[in-house]
Chain A
Amino acid sequence: MDFNQFINSFLGQNIFTLFFKVFSVVFSLLYLIYALVIYKQTQVMIRTLESQENSLILLISLIQIIIGIALLFVSLIII
């Protein structure tokens, strides 16, 4: 039994699929952390310079967090 077969029998899935899932979860988590930092910093930015577009800018930063959550959800549940 080689390593690949061992992993397959141990985890019940292809080693590549497992690698892809781990990669997806880790990078989705990193993306989510990044999106949170950007959102927090956007709040600091709009406090520094207040303009009419601020609510739209904050909304787009919030959408980035939603994308991060969606990525994490897809990587954990679907893949």
Chain B
Amino acid sequence: MHSLKPSHNLLHSFCIKPSYRFETQHTNEQLILVLRAHPITQLPWVINSLILIVVLIFLNFLFFNFLSGTQTLFANFFGLAIIFAYIWFNFLSWFFNVGIITNERIIDIDFHAVIYKEVTETQLSKVEDVTAKSGGFFASVFNFGNVFVQTAGTEVNIEFVNIPKPAEVTKIINNLVP
């Protein structure tokens, strides 16, 4: 693992040895990988935001004669605030839904709809099987997919969804497993 050089690839969705820290990190625990969903999988909400801006501009023409000056100003301000909230909500969902691989554990941090927090972790020694799945046109072109980590006994299984370079992640986990 010493051959891995610190880097942040694909808009911080594939970070090797980043200078992050997480809540339950042990004193001598080192981060090897921090994974987020591939940026291309975030395209739907980016496109939606652009469509909403176009709709807002279109509504201005539609209701121009219907509303007074201050009402038009407020409606635009409110519309932009809603679009900003939508963008920010989706960005936070993307940025903080991470998969972490350390020299001791594999951790999956999920914030469902931002307000529900779920942290799943397993020791590397408990890892039985690591599977990388990648299917579909976009997944093949942009090289992203799911990595499924199966653990021994009653330990929970971990799944990283839509992460970049799933084959490389599998290789790194397999090299770390004792």
Residue from B22, B74, B109 in contact with A79 in the complex, judged by beta carbons closer than 8 Å: B74
In angstroms, Cα B84 to Cα A64, docked, is 8
Closest residue of A by beta carbon distance from B21: A50
In angstroms, Cα B70 to Cα A38, docked, is 28
- Residues of chain A contacted by B89 (CB below 8 angstroms): 38
User: Number of residue pairs across A and B with beta carbons under 8 Å?
Assistant: 75
In angstroms, Cα B81 to Cα A35, docked, is 10
Q: Which of B38-46, B53-61, B113-121, B125-133 contacts A (4 or more CB under 8 A)?
A: B113-121
Residue from A41, A47, A67 in contact with B81 in the complex, judged by beta carbons closer than 8 Å: A67
Closest residue of B by beta carbon distance from A61: B88
Interface residue tally for chain B (C-beta within 8 Å): 30
Q: What is the distance, in angstroms, from A42's C-beta to the closest C-beta of chain B? A: 7
Interface residue tally for chain A (C-beta within 8 Å): 32
Residue from A38, A47, A70, A79 in contact with B88 in the complex, judged by beta carbons closer than 8 Å: A38
Contact with B along A66-79 (1 / 0, CB 8 A): 01101100110011
In angstroms, Cα B81 to Cα A34, docked, is 12
Residue from A31, A44, A49, A79 in contact with B85 in the complex, judged by beta carbons closer than 8 Å: A31
Residues of B within 8 A of A (CB): 18-23, 67-68, 70-71, 73-74, 77-78, 81-82, 84-85, 88-89, 92, 95-96, 98, 109, 111, 114-115, 117, 119
22 A-B pairs within 8 Å (CB atoms) are namely A17-B68, A17-B71, A27-B78, A28-B78, A34-B85, A35-B85, A45-B96, A45-B111, A48-B96, A48-B117, A49-B20, A50-B22, A51-B18, A64-B85, A64-B88, A67-B81, A70-B77, A71-B81, A74-B77, A79-B70, A79-B71, A79-B74
